[in-house]
Structure 1
């Protein structure tokens, strides 16, 4: 085992621990909900709704950002002890938005009779579905095994790889840099391939008409550095548009497949992300498998920038391997 501080492994495994902790918490909620009594209910509203959600973002000074996401707003009525109540929570699981919106609306049309499970101590707390997604723990088990293999396998193999590379170099002490630059280039290349594949699929999505509601550059400050100074000013294209697919209205926030890319240069951001006029009609490519996912530009122009970075890392790796 490499002589690494314990907190290095703790940092690498922390996301997995949080995920498993959340799964255990939800499992306990499900067990409690199984004891809840039920009441007859009726769906009174069923449509897509846009909500603003707060998303953790460690790259920003405040530690979070806000996003507009589509949700299935299913409102149902039920009564407990003669008192009429309303709720719009469907599942015991957390709804993060932009997921199975159309499927949930189709499953609970207006006027449908439903069974409502409510908390006897707090009858306003209710759900229509009180089971965890099928296969959740199986997927988490596989994911845990893969994560452990990657983390500890990489740690164990890093020294061996460094020793092997050093025997092939004129300057053996440069092997860590060669490995690091090569790894960075490989990761970027995989990301570029994934974006290229996504662009190919998006180009085949059905096209509908949409309307631009908001367009402009978002300016924010990056998270502070380890030394203490405040982070630099960053720029990101902000686009909001509405469209209708299968008689349901949705809101999109991705103008291109690289809409989430931020830069410290407003000029570069403007060049990589085209502007739109508020109120303009646009073509919207919609993912038929998940209508909440859409784009105004299926071509991944940013992928060429990624390939330039891959070439740059490849050249840097080659130079360090030769000259140390």
Structure 2
């Protein structure tokens, strides 16, 4: 076992633990739902809609912000004990948005007859699908093996690299710094490769017309700095665009600006709107495999890869400098 503090392993393995716990909870819910009675139902609404989803953001007070995502709103009616009920939950799994919107709308069009599985203790709780995704535990098992291999393999590799460098650099006490710089550089370089690959794929996505939409002003506070009671009040606005793909409407965000005063925010927005005018028609590249994912500038997204590679090169140069100069 590599000689690393226990909290290092805890931080590396915590995300995997949370995923496994969530999978266990969902599996238990599916087992419970298998005993739920069923009733005939009818889909009354089947449309795409925007919903606000709370996402992690450590730059804001409270550690979160709201993000608008596309969802399939499939609302269905059913009767239990003479009571007519409505629900819009499709499956046991959590719907985080921007995924399988078109597929679910196509699977449950308005007016279609469906089988509804409802909770006998709380009949207003129901689903149309009560199975976990096929191969979920198989994928989790393979993923767990890969994660464990990467974590412990990397830790072992870092230890071996550290031991080797301790005997081959001018300042053995700086071997850990060399390993850290090199590791950061490698991770950032891999991120750049992923961004470049995604942008390259996006240049081949089909193009549809879209419309720029400007959001209203948003008032929030930044996360407080050490010694501050509260963070700085900020004023932000978002620039989004709407588009249609195969008769389903979607909305995505293309820019966000924020400043400490409304006037400064408006000034930043005016500069941004030189590129994106409110109400303007734009070309949208849509991912055919997941139409909720799109971009206005695939090549611009790809340029971020070169920025990341530049940062990786700086870390590599720092590692080389420390290793050869010893300070």
TM-score after normalising by structure 2: 0.87
Please name the residue that 1:178 is paired with: 178
Deviation at 1:119, TM superposition (A): 0.8
Please name the residue that 1:288 is paired with: 288
Q: Superposed, which structure 2 residues align to 1:174-323 within 5 Å?
A: 174-214=174-214, 223=223, 238-253=238-253, 255=254, 275-299=275-299, 300=301, 301-323=303-325
Equivalent pairs counted in the alignment come to 318
8 A Cα contact 1:224 1:231, kept in partner: yes
Gaps of 5+ in 2: none
State the alpha-carbon separation in 1 of the partners of residues 179 and 276 from structure 2. 43
The 1:268/1:202 distance shift into structure 2, 3 A limit, reads farther
- RMSD value over aligned CA atoms? 3.1
State the alpha-carbon separation in 1 of the partners of residues 181 and 270 from structure 2. 29
CA deviations on 1:155-192 (whole Å, 9 max, x unpaired) are 33322210112233222222111111111111111111
Q: Structure 1 residues 31-40 or 306-315, which shifts more?
A: 306-315
8 A Cα contact 1:178 1:317, kept in partner: yes
Deviation at 1:250, TM superposition (A): 0.7
The 1:248/1:237 distance shift into structure 2, 3 A limit, reads same
The 1:313/1:274 distance shift into structure 2, 3 A limit, reads farther
Please name the residue that 2:111 is paired with: 111
CA deviations on 1:78-107 (whole Å, 9 max, x unpaired) are 111121111111001100111111111111
8 A Cα contact 1:237 1:273, kept in partner: no
8 A Cα contact 1:222 1:231, kept in partner: yes
State the alpha-carbon separation in 2 of the partners of residues 274 and 189 from structure 1. 32
Deviation at 1:246, TM superposition (A): 0.5
Q: Structure 1 residues 10-19 or 31-40, which shifts more?
A: 10-19
Deviation at 1:243, TM superposition (A): 0.6
Please name the residue that 1:124 is paired with: 124
